[in-house]
Structure 1
Amino acid sequence: MASSSSPPLLPLLLLLGMFSALRAHASGKGMALYWGWHVNNITAAGLEMACKTGQFEQVNIAFLTDFGYGKPPTPDFGTGCDAPSGGCKYLQSEIEYCQSVNVKVLLSIGGFDATYRLPNEEEAHRLAAHVYNVYLSGYGVDGPLGKVKLDGVDFWINDTLPTAYWDVVAEDLKRYDEKLILTGSQACNHSLGVPDIPIFYALKTGLFSRVWARVFGDYYPCVYERGNTASFESAVRNWTTDFEGYVGDFRIAVDCHPKYIRGFIPPEEIEGALDIVRKYPRYSGVAVWNRHWDVKYKEDGYAKWPYSETIYPHVQDSLEPDDDDAVRHQHLHEVVF
């Protein structure tokens, strides 16, 4: 017979269950995820399932694209749903679930393909108004994702496009709602002080919460390669110093599958990359491209878990303070001055 001083088993189990749930919902610090685009959204790669992992604090739904020269923006959210026919409206409930567990859900505009343009300021105003009214306003517009009120906009802009007018879009969106989250993604190639990336002037507006440099791609020397990290380190230094005081924080965006594109960082090497990036005080984690390839990493037998889950502990460790914070601050001082 149990002692009368023993704690009741049922309340203890309930407390443990509550703790586990809270831990899952609060543990996504430092990781963001891209979801969608025109690749197969395999069954295990659903949006709600991604949010249930507890690993992500932000999900970017990709992409709203193919706009400019009078063309209305076209949603391309992947083969898991057909936006033009209304087949993506089911995502409304999944988006609402993600938001209910404190995952910020953003609309990613642009994309890899250069099928979109902002030829003038009027087109920029028109794009911002469309994005706000249909995806961000909460006015009850029944858009491609249903009647949603997303948390902000991610700018994923093709690297060949000009710099003009993306700043106008950002400024308009913030005028509509100053609480909107704006994030940006570009390829890691960037020379210090040079407007060689399309969202250079947009980032200089001071309106963006974070930016992630994509450290993958066939033509980029700045991808991470163990034993040959000079170009990677230079790119990280340029990004973190050029937008110091303008952008809230900095992350790297990584590819999730070795067969997708050049620049894949194996889980056993990710710590080396993060050790370089974490030297800078504005570092705040990783974004992964994208959920399809993330889950396919597991399904193709590379690991027992999706790629994001295999690197998650390393990302969390990288967010812990160094043994000597003064070293990090001294490094930043040397870079800036």
Structure 2
Amino acid sequence: MATNLKWAPVLALLLVAAMVGSTSAGNIAVYWGQNGNEGTLADTCNSGLYAYVILAFLTTFGNGQTPVLNLAGHCDPGSGGCTGLSSDIQTCQSQGIKVLLSIGGATGSYGLSSTDDANSVADYLWNSYLGAALQTGQFDNVWIQFYNNPGCAYANGDDTNLVNAWSTWTSSVTAGSFYLGLPASTQAAGSGYIEPGTLTGTVLPAIKGVGKYGGIMVWNRFYDVQNNYSAQVKDSV
């Protein structure tokens, strides 16, 4: 299973557009938007923990549907209640933190029925969220979900499947950097949690040796705050 890409659809690979500068250290990306108790977007960026904050999720798009942004308890886009996010995004950007948008999610109504449908969704994303920001950018980062996917997750003290899967992704997909997607606590996902000490002492040294390592992606901000996960591993990422 770890030697081919047949499991690619299951891994929920997330390709996110970002303009990325060179760096010798890894970064931390975090998902924000699916728990009203996780604090504001500005609070998240002001924590000093993250290089990327991923808004979760655009849950409805394609098949002629009007796209819908679902930010759980934070705001209601349908009523215009999310316009206040613009100032928070500016706060993040002023610190050099990139704010990205995740499309899809575990549940929702989305899909692309034709080339025209795909173009329509792309136009919506560009006009609503991107504008001219990416005119000179590069599709550079690949975030891979190594949780709730037993075939490639760390389990029972064994990182063999994880390291093998990482090697397969980095050798088979053309991208500048790859991120190890992990849950921030045992409550954040059904499987795949790695204790901070194990992550920094065993897992990260193993995958950094493979190459194309960009950092870790954490699900999600709420659980990260509860477990203090990113703060514990940041210096070693």
Is the pair's TM-score, using the shorter chain for normalization, greater than 0.5?
A: yes
Question: Which residue in the other structure is 1:22 paired with?
Answer: none
Write the distance in 1 (CA, Å) between the matches of 2:71 and 2:108: 16
**Which position in structure 2 is the counterpart of 1:264?**
193
CA contact (8 A) 2:154 2:192 kept: yes
Residue number among 107, 118, 123 corresponding to 1:124 in the alignment? 118
**Quick check: which one's strand share is greater?**
2
Q: 1:277-325: per-residue Cα shift (whole Å, max 9, x none)?
A: 101221121111111121132xxxxxxxx2111121221xxxxxxxxxx
2-structure distance, mates of 1:296, 1:237? 31
8 Å Cα contact 2:31/2:218 also seen in 1: yes
Describe the superposition over 1:141-177 as per-residue Cα deviations: whole angstroms up to 9, x where unpaired.
xxxxxxxxxx5xxxxxxxxxxxxxxxxxxxxxxxxx4
Distance 1:179-1:220 versus aligned 2 partners, 3 A rule = farther
Cα deviation, residue 226, structure 1: 5.2
Q: Secondary structure at the match of 1:268?
A: helix
Give how far 1:65 is off. Answer: 1.9
Structure-2 residue corresponding to 1:12: none
- Determine which structure has greater relative contact order: mean sequence separation of CA pairs < 8 Å that are 6+ residues apart, divided by chain length: 2
Residue in structure 2 matched with residue 87 of structure 1 by the alignment:
81
Partner of 2:97: 103
> What TM-score does the superposition give when structure 2 sets the normalisation length?
0.83
Instruction: Find the counterpart in structure 1 of residue 145 from structure 2.
Output: 214
In structure 1, list runs of 5 or more residues that go unmatched.
1-25, 139-150, 152-176, 182-207, 298-305, 316-337
Amino acid at match of 1:213: I
- In structure 2, distance between residues paired with 1:74 and 1:249: 29
Pairwise CA distance, 1:114: 5.1
1:45–1:295 contact (8 Å) kept in structure 2 = no
Superposition pairs for residues 225-236 of structure 1, below 5 Å?
225=155, 227-236=157-166
> For the structure 1 residues 33 and 236, does the alpha-carbon distance in structure 2 shift closer, same or farther, using more than 3 Å as the test?
same
Match of 1:252 in 2: 180
Cα pair 1:29 1:57 within 8 Å, conserved: no
TM-score, normalised relative to structure 1: 0.59
Q: Which runs of 4+ in 1 moved over 6 A?
A: none
| Structure 1 contact 255–290 (Cα < 8 Å) conserved | yes
For the pair shown, the structure with the greater C-alpha radius of gyration is: 1
Structure with more helix by fraction = 1
Q: Which residue in 2 is equivalent to 1:30?
A: 27
Identity percentage of aligned residues: 33
Task: Tell me the residue number matched to 1:69.
Answer: 63
Residue in 2 that maps onto 1:197: none
Q: How many residues align?
A: 212
CA distance in 2, matches of 1:227, 1:178: 44
3-state SS of 1:269 partner: helix
1:49 Cα offset (Å): 1.2
1:283 and 1:112 mapped to 2: Cα distance?
A: 25
| RMSD between aligned residues | 2.0
Q: CA deviation at 1:180?
A: 4.0
Measured after TM superposition, the shift of residue 220 of structure 1 is 2.5
Partner of 1:308: 230
Instruction: Check whether the contact 1:257–1:264 (CA below 8 A) recurs between aligned residues.
Output: yes
State the alpha-carbon separation in 2 of the partners of residues 228 and 108 from structure 1: 30
